[in-house]
């Protein structure tokens, strides 16, 4: 059985400016997701109702950071853009 590595949230140990940009992008997505009906927007809206605005902004920023991190490795393997 392969043990899955647990991914944690965004920490304050990294680049402060990049973290601020990711959080601000998350806040922007929260505001724009209220009128949309795609899968990710529904997840964001439900998360905001359950946990609150700031925690949702951090969760969206974390998800965006993981997608940004996965893009170069997926393209170097030749798989193209991964489907999130």
Residue position matching structure tokens 């990710």: 40
Assigned token pair, 77: 């393997």
Mean pLDDT of 14-43: 93
Q: What are phi and psi of 8, to 5 degrees?
A: -100, 180
Q: Give the model's pLDDT for residue 14.
A: 80
**Would you list the domain boundaries of the chain?**
16-77
CA angle 41, 4, 23 (to 5 degrees): 35
Average pLDDT, the chain: 84
**Interatomic CA distance for residues 1 and 19, integer angstroms:** 35
pLDDT above 80: residue 27: yes
Q: Which residue has the higher pLDDT, 66 or 70?
A: 66
Mean pLDDT of 73-81: 62
């Amino acid at each position: 059985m392969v043990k899955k590595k647990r991914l944690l949230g965004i920490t304050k140990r990294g680049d402060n400016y990049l973290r601020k940009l990711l959080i601000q992008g998350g806040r922007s997505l929260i505001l724009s997701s209220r009128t949309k009906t795609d899968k990710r927007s529904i997840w964001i809206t439900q998360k905001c109702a359950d946990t609150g605005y700031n925690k949702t902004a951090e969760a969206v920023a974390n998800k965006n950071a993981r997608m940004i991190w996965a893009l170069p490795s997926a393209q170097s393997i030749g798989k193209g853009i991964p489907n999130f």
